[in-house]
Amino acid sequence: MDGADKYGLSQLHQLRGRVGRGRERAYAYFLYPSEKPLGEVALERLKAVAAHNELGAGMQLAMKDLEIRGAGNLLGGEQSGHIQGVGFDLYIRLVGEAVAEYRGEAEEKAADMKIELPVNAHLPHDYVPGERLRLEAYRKLAAAITNEAIDEVLAELVDRYGEPPLPAKNLIAVARFRVGAREAGLSDVALQGNFIRFSPAQLPESKVMRLNRMYPGSQIKPALDAVLLPKPKTARIGGRDLQDAEILEWANTVIEAIFAASPATQTAG
């Protein structure tokens, strides 16, 4: 490939992937002009594509590309501040699992979780410097499916970067909330208009009565396999919407009261 210094990292990786068929060994040569010095960014790209040539290299190259070009707002508050970052983390985990499975290194998989609540949860730039470090921290937290694993990630963050600021604490709280929601059999807790949706949800009559008593105005949607609870406020009249730690605490209370298995059910199981 002539003029390889002018191509982006993803282009170099994709073009290299076109070389070779089946068991035939092939080589990709990246050429650049020798009469002029190579730019720093171009040199970094060529070094990266040369260093990563094994299965799963695309993930490593994507991380390197983030490091070279910067991630913009992808890993900052504007994108991940309201939990969009959790979806990105899930994507990172799924890619890692797919590569590990292909290599025969697959680990226990957790059910997918969708948490979309108004929570300012992210790793601030001035707390974890560098896109690559933040991406790695997000990946570890997304892969943590027990409170013990979350404790380990938190301990590492404190050890490396000090006491986490409020947005980072909120991110840890969201991770712990995901653990509790998963244990209660939920896979979707999300804002839907003026309601908070909990799904899947098939409640016995006793839980339906408790739901109507504790959370008036709730709606059961059998066709959607979901329960909709009115969006919580600080007061019924003139109150503001709950957010951040407040709404996580409220949602945890809902799960414990309505969706968590009763002791009798757990014993029977």
**Lowest-confidence segment of 12-21, 24-33, 255-264 by average pLDDT:** 12-21
CATH numeric code, 77-183: 3.90.1150.50
Give residue 61's pLDDT band: very low, low, confident or very high (50, 70, 90).
low
> 């974890």: which residue's tokens?
128
Tokens, residue 108: 């226990």
Q: What CA–CA distances, in Å, run from 79 to 40, 70, 74, 91, 129?
A: 29, 14, 5, 15, 17
Sign of the CA dihedral running 130, 132, 138, 140: negative
Q: Is residue 58 within 8 Å of 13, Cβ to Cβ?
A: yes
For 206-242, the pLDDT digits (tens) are 999 999 999 999 999 999 899 999 999 999 888 999 9
For 80-131, the pLDDT digits (tens) are 443 344 444 454 555 556 555 655 655 555 556 788 888 888 888 899 987 7
Q: What CA–CA distances, in Å, run from 135 to 26, 44, 207?
A: 33, 19, 41
Tokens, residue 195: 């309601």
pLDDT at 253 over 90: yes
Burial code (b: 16+ CB inside 10 Å, e: under 16) for 127-156 equals bbeebbebbebbbbbbbbbeeeebeebbee
> What are φ and ψ of residue 21, in 5° steps?
-140, 125
Q: Who wins on pLDDT, 138 or 182?
A: 182
- The pLDDT score that the predictor gives to residue 268 is 44
Tokens, residue 43: 């040199």
- Per cent of the chain over pLDDT 70 is 72
Every domain of the chain and the residues it spans: 4-69, 77-183, 188-268
Q: Report the alpha-carbon distance of residue 101 to residue 29 in Å, rounded.
A: 30
